[in-house]
Amino acid sequence: MATGQTAQAEPLFRLTVPPEKPRRRLPFSPWHLFLMPVAAVMLVPLLWMVIVSLETASQAQRFPPVLFPHSFHVQSYVDAWNAAPFAHYFLNSAIYSLSTVAGQLLFCSLAAYAFARIRFFGREVLFVVLLATLMVPFQVLLIPTFLIVKKLGMVDSVGGLIVPNLCSAFGIFLLRQFFRTLPIELEEAARIDGASRLAILFKIVLPLSLPALATLGIIQFLWSWNDFLWPLVIINTDTHAPIQLGLSTLQGGHFMEWNVLMAGTVMSQIPILLAFFFAQRWFIQSLAYTGIKQ
Amino acid sequence: MPGVSFDEVTKTFSGETVAVDRLSLEIADGEFMILVGPSGCGKTTGLRMVAGLEKPTSGVIRIGERVVNEVSARDRDIAMVFQNYALYPHMSVYKNLAFSLKQKRTPKQDIDRRVREVAAMLGLEPLLKRRPAQLSGGQRQRVAMGRALVREPKVFLLDEPLSNLDAKLRVQMRAELKRLHARLGVTTIYVTHDQVEAMTLGDRIAVMSDGKLQQLGTPQEVYDTPANVFVAGFIGSPPMNLLRGSVRSGRVTAGDFVLQRADVPDGELIVGLRPEALRPAMNGLPSIEFRVDVVEPLGDEVIVHGSVAAELATVSEEVEDAALPGANGLRTEAVARLSPRDRPAEGSTIRLGVEPAEVYLFDAGTGAAIR
């Protein structure tokens, strides 16, 4: 504002601009000062796992632990690979994870669409019941699920791993919530254009729901890949075991080769790290989207 | 090409809200019918029932001779343009246009031919590969029209298709719609709350309020002889001035306005004066004192806002919504449309007269016109 001059007419509005303060700014967000130590705490076990896997058996047994070994040995990886049928484990895990992902995406979207858009008797009650099952921990369902799978004659097979995980209340809930945010006019337009319910689902709704589908797919993949309890209960034959169960065979009854176990563990995590590397954006969005911690 | 008929159609939502109340309406083959009314009057619900997106609670809807109450939307052979266009965002313009034909398993070459024909008709050829998000409002509107046109439907349903466009584009698209209809001659039902669209586009217009049909007629009929005070207040811009009045032995008075009408029985009534019927008072014409507040010159005419010494007429809330004359003691806000030559000074008081034939009278109880 001009201060030295006398204004003849009072202006209707006076614009006051705060004086520009030369501020020194950090080259990063102040939040990072808090987040970086937290990230370090999260990373230490992983680094330790990698370090131990590269040590010799005697280094790995030592106390206090050797955190900075002078030399790296890859022998434990060779030992781990030879100690157990890792190729089988990986194959089983891949079949288990990918088929449950496919099953979840297909069956959950069918159920979720019905809950989101089709008016039928008892829909709301049924949905509440479905939500209530989310509160029941898997440990409670373990034995009934086992009995069902046994009746199906699928004990000790990869099929027995997959079938109970083809659909989930969580997946139905997640997709239903997303479907309901899509504008109903699109579906009405498609109906008038002559599309059937299924055509609407597959040609309109699902292509627009990629973020939700990616979320569900990623969560299911992580969950199946890292699943230990259900395979432990249902698989008896070593060659039918997925990777997490297979790793437990590296644990001896009396003597434990930590470096070999860690080498196996590192190998088991490689697919997930690769997946994360290539689909980082989707991973982060997915987990943020559901507010779920893995 | 068939017409559409409503026979005593009622639609209630969740058992209580009556959206459409015993609507009976015949839409002739090839006619351009406008459903017009304020928001919530049931016009969109009426349209959605023809589309098959809502089921009538009672009554019969026919497309041609066929009763369609139980026919699903996909089997009705109608096309609809939505207010927000409802273009499929993940498909290109080409695929949006082709979607309905694909659902009908039309051969590929036929789809391609139809899509290109329609694209040429609407000037969409350069846009066929784009996604809806990459289009302007007017282009999206055209694609929505195109999607309806490719189907060669029996009936065209349009739900406020121009309301998301800016004023200039709206005028342009209005003319285009009229041209298209003249060319294709498809039975069209057009829903709008905009009375200018209603007046300019329709062969006939159906004025609705509160789920009920208030008046059906050509735009000129509805404007010249409104059936009741609601229609009078709704059709016409600026809206008709509605004043409370009374009749005593053939003498109609409203404030200082006096009119001789021997044929009207004694009682209360509502006097309606169109802003464009008012002009500077000449000897012998019935006239009213008008206090000028604001003058809006539009070049070819001036809109004069002010007040008259009479009471505001209220029959129901609808009238207030439509006419919006705020009561101010015994004065009522009023509007006049004058020629620039008669432009009054702001703050002045003038007398405005009106031809007796241009004075509308309505029953104060029912709101029905007294002819």
Give the pLDDT score at A197: 93
ipTM: 0.83
Residues within 8 A of B (CB atoms), A 161-200 only: 183, 185-186, 188-196, 199
Is residue B180 domain-shared with residue B290, that is, in the same domain? no
Shortest Cα distance from A112 to chain B (angstroms)? 21
Task: Answer for the pair B33, B10: CB distance below 8 angstroms, yes or no.
Answer: no
- Chain A residues touching B143 at Cβ < 8 A: none
> CA B71, CA A80: separation in Å to the nearest integer?
67
* Domain enclosing residue A269, as ranges: 79-290
Give the pLDDT score at A64: 82
Is residue B253 domain-shared with residue B160, that is, in the same domain? no
Q: Closest residue of A to B97, CA-based?
A: A193
Q: What is the torsional sign of CA B12, B17, B21, B26?
A: negative
- Beta strands B251-254 and B279-280, pairing class: unpaired
B103, B115, B131, B151, best to mutate vs chain A, most A CBs in 10 Å: B103
Q: Does any domain span residue A227?
A: yes
Q: State pLDDT tens for residues A166-224.
A: 999 999 999 999 999 999 999 999 999 999 999 999 999 999 998 899 889 988 999 99
Task: Answer for the pair B5, B213: CB distance below 8 angstroms, yes or no.
Answer: no
Q: How many other CB atoms sit within 10 Å of the CB of residue B280?
A: 17
Shortest Cα distance from B132 to chain A (angstroms)? 13
3-state secondary structure of B43: helix
> CA A186, CA A200: separation in Å to the nearest integer?
9
| Confidence grade of residue B294 (pLDDT, cut at 50, 70, 90) | very high
Q: B303 - beta bridge partners?
A: B296, B337
Q: Does any domain span residue B245?
A: yes
Shortest Cα distance from B157 to chain A (angstroms)? 11
Is residue B146 domain-shared with residue B199, that is, in the same domain? yes
Q: State pLDDT tens for residues A132-169.
A: 999 999 999 999 999 999 999 999 999 999 999 999 99
Q: State pLDDT tens for residues B298-328.
A: 999 999 999 888 877 765 544 444 344 444 4
Is residue B16 domain-shared with residue B148, that is, in the same domain? yes
* Domain enclosing residue B300, as ranges: 239-370
Q: Does any domain span residue A30?
A: no
Nearest CB to A208: which of B80, B90, B147?
Answer: B90
Q: Does any domain span residue A144?
A: yes
Nearest CB to A188: which of B53, B79, B147?
Answer: B53
- Which carries the bigger pLDDT value, residue A57 or residue A88? A88
Number of compact structural domains in chain B:
2
> CA A62, CA A208: separation in Å to the nearest integer?
55
- Cβ <8 Å between A185 and B86: yes
Give the pLDDT score at A21: 65
Tell me the CATH number at B197. 3.40.50.300
Q: State pLDDT tens for residues B31-90.
A: 999 999 998 899 999 999 999 999 999 999 999 999 999 999 989 999 999 999 999 999
> CA A180, CA A113: separation in Å to the nearest integer?
9
- Which carries the bigger pLDDT value, residue B301 or residue A19? B301
pLDDT(A66) > 90: no
Give the pLDDT score at B319: 44
> CA B94, CA B127: separation in Å to the nearest integer?
8
Give the pLDDT score at A279: 79
**Crossing angle of the two packed helices A109-117 and A123-132, in degrees rounded to 10:** 140
Nearest CB to A186: which of B52, B73, B88?
Answer: B88
Query: Is B99 at the interface with chain A, CB within 8 A?
Result: yes
Give the pLDDT score at A167: 95
- Which carries the bigger pLDDT value, residue B211 or residue B319? B211
Is residue B208 domain-shared with residue B309, that is, in the same domain? no
- Chain A residues touching B88 at Cβ < 8 A: 186, 189-190, 204
- Cβ <8 Å between B51 and A207: no
pTM for the full predicted model:
0.80
- Cβ <8 Å between B52 and A185: no
Q: Closest residue of A to B77, CA-based?
A: A192
The residue among B229, B261, B291 that closes a domain is: B229
Q: Does any domain span residue B331?
A: yes
Total CB pairs under 8 A between chain A and B:
56
Is residue B107 domain-shared with residue B79, that is, in the same domain? yes
- Cβ <8 Å between B99 and A185: no
- Chain A residues touching B73 at Cβ < 8 A: 188, 191-192
| Confidence grade of residue B336 (pLDDT, cut at 50, 70, 90) | very high
| Confidence grade of residue B367 (pLDDT, cut at 50, 70, 90) | confident
Give the pLDDT score at B326: 46
pLDDT(B282) > 90: no
- Cβ <8 Å between B86 and A207: no
Give the pLDDT score at B327: 46
Tell me the CATH number at A252. 1.10.3720.10
Shortest Cα distance from B277 to chain A (angstroms)? 40
Q: State pLDDT tens for residues B134-188.
A: 999 889 999 999 999 998 899 999 999 998 888 888 888 899 899 989 988 999 9
- Cβ <8 Å between B73 and A188: yes
Q: Does any domain span residue A151?
A: yes
| Confidence grade of residue A14 (pLDDT, cut at 50, 70, 90) | low
Give the pLDDT score at B312: 79
B48, B78, B102, best to mutate vs chain A, most A CBs in 10 Å: B102
| Confidence grade of residue A275 (pLDDT, cut at 50, 70, 90) | confident
Nearest CB to B74: which of A183, A191, A204?
Answer: A191
Residues within 8 A of A (CB atoms), B 35-74 only: 51-53, 72-74
Q: Does any domain span residue A179?
A: yes
A181, A191, A193, A209, best to mutate vs chain B, most B CBs in 10 Å: A193
pLDDT(A22) > 70: no
Q: Does any domain span residue B234?
A: no
- Cβ <8 Å between B74 and A194: yes
DSSP assigned state of B105: T
Is residue B285 domain-shared with residue B261, that is, in the same domain? yes
Q: Does any domain span residue A135?
A: yes
Q: How many CA atoms lie within 13 A of B246 on its CB side?
A: 7
- Cβ <8 Å between A192 and B53: yes
**In the predicted model, what is the mean pLDDT of chain B?**
89
Q: State pLDDT tens for residues B240-270.
A: 999 988 999 889 988 888 898 888 888 889 9
What does each C-alpha distance from B175 to B181, B281, B298 come to in angstroms? 10, 38, 23
Q: State pLDDT tens for residues A88-112.
A: 999 999 999 999 999 999 999 999 9
- Cβ <8 Å between A192 and B84: no
- Chain B residues touching A204 at Cβ < 8 A: 88
pLDDT(A6) > 50: no
Q: Does any domain span residue A46?
A: no
What does each C-alpha distance from B24 to A60, A135, A218, B49, B68 come to in angstroms? 88, 53, 55, 13, 15
Q: Does any domain span residue A147?
A: yes
Average pLDDT rounded to a whole number, residues A54-79: 84
Is residue B111 domain-shared with residue B214, that is, in the same domain? yes
